[in-house]
Chain A
């Protein structure tokens, strides 16, 4: 089954490539002029097309679909549901075309994978990145309290209190003071 990618950035293609090829789709990429799209579609006859929603080649695809009913045509809903297609356009900036014989379930699965590769993966990476400093602070705080408890023989609450007072005195954040302590071995 042939999947034609039109006007899609290298970056997006690299994110999609593995997942789509592994699924058994033959990927063909096109970034040329509108008029060379006519012979390309005639020769390749892709079953599915993913195209940048704002590509200037979109109306040409509409024309090809109108010239030949066997060419891929715009998919605007999957079953009665337009939610995935909506997310595909709004979040990934892609539009989907398919020949009539491709099952809706296949298109749904493809849409899910594309959204997951382009959006969900990035979203997870962003979430992980944004958690990283918070977790590091908590780790420093925990280590600093343990350090104070062991060095001065204090209870957990006393050690925490000492850090808080020091931070207030220094007009610095408690996490900042904890990091300083762990880096230098003494309170600032």
Chain B
């Protein structure tokens, strides 16, 4: 063990996770002894809902947890739940979600345009025509599942629907179903589509229940998915323990990102104590394969799960800016806030840099980056620091440009003049 133990304030810890492929950093840090090497005795508690994770961390029944990237921010704002002061200094993974539609709906779309098979933009436009036809015929609204109202999955599904001109709240009925129940709900015909993290899309396709029409990478390349979060109070009381946790998780993420370790990772996380599904199901996306259609071989998608490369673990402040923009777009957040101020309270690049530096890992020197301006074709294959960041509909958000971006989004309910006023001084200088 190379790291000197710096007076850990707390050594016995319990973290919560949800049975999803991206619980892997927590599981690997435990199973491969990275927590132990930091002097931490960590137990992992499998939770059944995001609300349980949120409340248990908030009440101190759990010391920390895997959370949706949007959750610490939503909780800070009291959006979709009680006001709780979480912070996050580490992103656990990028990408990893997909949108799956059931066979009947997919077939109806395929009959209109077979290119729905591989093109998410054509798929949403085709779905729009199905939705319009349904309205004319007085058919019941389509019902799609998401995992939590203020989830990355909710924003991704909404983004994809809106890209085709479909209003997610008026044209579709969105219902919340926890990830492990999603496939069952589709099998029973309760929902016609869903947006969820892996391995639940792969499972639905393997069971021949539906087809994947878009994955998160296609919607916004290398966008953040889960974070490791604790309460602000806990972080203040346990700074050394917090750093030790971040170091262990960083080592786990670096190990996970090596392709030769992915099969072993899939074996570990598929166990009964974690995801409790067959290794073959978990291994597909974990080894860089996107199974979109049950009658076709899986496609290669090396970046289906990104755990470390492209500075993945760094809490970029430009990422939560997009999340805030979507909360405004869909009317979840109505209060006018100073976006930069709130984001600075929640996401902690400085704490990340401290942990990375003590491991000799390089960290980004800036806190924000432009989004949507880098296509994968522009990058050298070996690029590790920088990843593609394209949006499905091609928009670009320069640093400091989140409000003009929001202004240009369709179907938005945001009060742009009020937001511009509240954010003018801070963001006029282009952030940092």
Which residues from chain A sit less than 8 Å from chain B, CB to CB?
A: 33-35, 38, 53-63, 65-66, 73-77, 82, 85-86, 89-90, 95
> B149 near A: Cβ within 8 Å?
yes
8 A Cβ contacts from B26-65 to A: 47-52, 55-56, 58-61
B81 touches A56 (CB 8 A): no
> B84 near A: Cβ within 8 Å?
yes
Cross-chain contact of A76 among B58, B147, B185 (Cβ < 8 A): B58
- Sampled A-B contacts (21; CB under 8 Å): A33-B190, A34-B178, A34-B181, A55-B48, A58-B49, A59-B51, A59-B177, A60-B176, A60-B177, A62-B50, A62-B51, A62-B148, A63-B174, A66-B150, A73-B82, A74-B55, A74-B81, A76-B59, A77-B82, A86-B61, A89-B59
A89 touches B55 (CB 8 A): yes
Q: Indicate the size class of the contact surface on chain B.
A: 20 to 34
**Residues of chain A lying within 8 A (CB to CB) of residue B180:** 56
**Residues of chain B lying within 8 A (CB to CB) of residue A95:** 51-52, 55
> B131 near A: Cβ within 8 Å?
no
**Residues of chain A lying within 8 A (CB to CB) of residue B176:** 34, 59-60, 62-63
Our count of residue pairs bridging A and B at CB distance below 8 angstroms stands at: 96
Given contacts A56-B180, A74-B55, contact A35 B185 (CB under 8 A): yes
> B103 near A: Cβ within 8 Å?
no
B48 touches A54 (CB 8 A): yes
- Sorted nearest first, the 8 A-B pairs with minimum C-beta distance are A63-B176, A58-B49, A58-B51, A76-B82, A66-B149, A63-B149, A35-B190, A56-B178
**Residues of chain B lying within 8 A (CB to CB) of residue A89:** 55-56, 59, 61
The chain B residue with its CB closest to the CB of A52 is B48
The distance in angstroms between the C-alpha atoms of A63 and B185, with both chains bound, is: 17
The distance in angstroms between the C-alpha atoms of A76 and B19, with both chains bound, is: 24
| A59-B49, A59-B177, A90-B59 given; 15 more Cβ-contact pairs under 8 Å | A34-B181, A38-B175, A54-B48, A58-B49, A59-B176, A60-B175, A60-B176, A62-B50, A63-B176, A66-B79, A73-B82, A76-B82, A86-B60, A89-B55, A95-B52
Which residues from chain B sit less than 8 Å from chain A, CB to CB?
A: 47-52, 55-56, 58-61, 79-82, 84, 143, 147-150, 174-178, 180-181, 185, 188, 190-191, 332
Please give the distance in Å from A179's CB to the nearest CB on chain B: 44
A58 touches B61 (CB 8 A): no
Q: For B49, B150, B178, B191, which residue has the most chain A Cβ atoms within 10 angstroms?
A: B49
Interface of B is mostly: loop
**Residues of chain A lying within 8 A (CB to CB) of residue B149:** 59, 62-63, 66
Please give the distance in Å from A48's CB to the nearest CB on chain B: 16
The distance in angstroms between the C-alpha atoms of A77 and B55, with both chains bound, is: 10
**Residues of chain B lying within 8 A (CB to CB) of residue A53:** 52, 55-56
A59 touches B59 (CB 8 A): no
A34 touches B185 (CB 8 A): yes
Cross-chain contact of B52 among A58, A82, A86 (Cβ < 8 A): A58
Please give the distance in Å from B171's CB to the nearest CB on chain A: 16
Please give the distance in Å from A184's CB to the nearest CB on chain B: 53
Please give the distance in Å from B70's CB to the nearest CB on chain A: 13
Please give the distance in Å from A66's CB to the nearest CB on chain B: 4
The distance in angstroms between the C-alpha atoms of A59 and B178, with both chains bound, is: 7
The distance in angstroms between the C-alpha atoms of A120 and B174, with both chains bound, is: 41
**Residues of chain A lying within 8 A (CB to CB) of residue B82:** 73-77
The distance in angstroms between the C-alpha atoms of A56 and B182, with both chains bound, is: 11
The chain B residue with its CB closest to the CB of A85 is B59
**Residues of chain A lying within 8 A (CB to CB) of residue B178:** 34, 56, 59
**Residues of chain B lying within 8 A (CB to CB) of residue A60:** 175-177
Please give the distance in Å from B368's CB to the nearest CB on chain A: 29
Given contacts A34-B185, A86-B60, A86-B61, contact A59 B148 (CB under 8 A): yes
The chain B residue with its CB closest to the CB of A61 is B51
Q: For B48, B51, B56, B82, which residue has the most chain A Cβ atoms within 10 angstroms?
A: B51
The distance in angstroms between the C-alpha atoms of A93 and B210, with both chains bound, is: 36
The distance in angstroms between the C-alpha atoms of A65 and B178, with both chains bound, is: 16
The distance in angstroms between the C-alpha atoms of A74 and B84, with both chains bound, is: 12
The distance in angstroms between the C-alpha atoms of A6 and B51, with both chains bound, is: 15
Given contacts A74-B55, A76-B59, contact A59 B175 (CB under 8 A): no
**Residues of chain B lying within 8 A (CB to CB) of residue A56:** 48-49, 178, 180-181
**Residues of chain A lying within 8 A (CB to CB) of residue B188:** 33
